[in-house]
Amino acid sequence: MKHKQALWRLALALGIAFFGTGGNAQAGSNLVVNGNFDNPENNLLGWRYKFDAAGESWYANNHTLVSVAENDNGRKKVMKLHGTYAELQVPGQGVRVDSHPIPVDLSKGRCRFSIFTRSTGPTCRILVEGFRWAPGVTPHADPANTELRKCYRFSQVYFGKQQAGEMAAPGPAWQKGSTVFPEDKLSDQARKNLAQIKFLVIHIVAIGGADGDLFVDDARIEKI
């Protein structure tokens, strides 16, 4: 456990040096830790899939439904979210995975978020969210998701010909979805909220649709 924590702290420290403090990340460099789910020590390093904090009882068994498949339709080491009627429909909380916080300075430019997905049944909601420090938390170099507060939601990612909708509906073949943020035109309030962002979190939830698996691979956030 200590070794895994050390790996994550090293990855986070590199991220802060890489983008968060200087804003000098090279275009095309991936800011997502273990976005290919192939870390040899822990395939899910950098991702939160066990939700056991106060108010998260809806997701008590979430961690039993998230895994990494060795091979799937030509791709190796892909994350799998397994959903049944209980998770996808009633009560329908979904099967959820969030990235660990990614330090960022959005005043330095725009980013592109991209991800590959396929589904054998579930629909999904995949997007990047902006976070700030929660009230009362002293900023430090190793934040937990629970020490932050959401302050912004960027556009949802869709796949194939779909361009809008409450849920994305990826098909059975691998498809790439992407979005660029921040948006060009923002309200004054949106700009104020945007200015508060210290971290990005990729939010993935399999919800709705039919029983089956949502597969995810190659999650990337790149400066453009």
- On whether the pTM is more than 0.85, the answer is yes
8 A C-beta contact, residue 67 and residue 98? no
Q: pLDDT for 149-167, tens place per residue?
A: 999 999 999 999 999 999 9
Q: Rounded mean pLDDT of 13-35?
A: 62
Q: Is the pLDDT of residue 201 over 70?
A: yes
Q: Is the pLDDT of residue 42 over 70?
A: yes
Which residue range(s) make up the domain with 178? 2-223
pLDDT confidence of 18, banded at 50, 70, 90?
A: very low
| Domain count for the chain | 1
Q: What is the CATH number of the domain that holds 160?
A: 2.60.120.260
pLDDT for 27 equals 62
| Alpha-carbon dihedral sign for residues 116, 77, 24, 104 | positive
- φ, ψ for residue 192, nearest 5 deg: -65, -45
pLDDT for 206 equals 98
Q: pLDDT for 46-84, tens place per residue?
A: 999 999 999 999 999 999 999 999 999 999 999 999 999
Q: Quick one: three-class SS letters along the chain?
A: CHHHHHHHHHHHHHHHHHHHCCCCCCCCCECCCCCCCCCCCCCCCCEECCCCCCCCHHHCCHHHHEEEEEEECCEEEEEEEEECHHHHCCCCCCEEEEECCEECCHHHCCEEEEEEEEECCEEEEEEEEEEEECCCCCCCCCCCHHHEEEEEECCCCCCCCCCCCCCECCCCCCEEEEEEECCCCCCHHHHHHHHCCCEEEEEEEEEEECCEEEEEEEEEEEEC
8 A C-beta contact, residue 175 and residue 129? no
8 A C-beta contact, residue 47 and residue 99? yes
Q: Given the structure tokens 């932050």, which residue do they identify?
A: 148
Q: Is the pLDDT of residue 19 over 90?
A: no
pLDDT for 108 equals 84
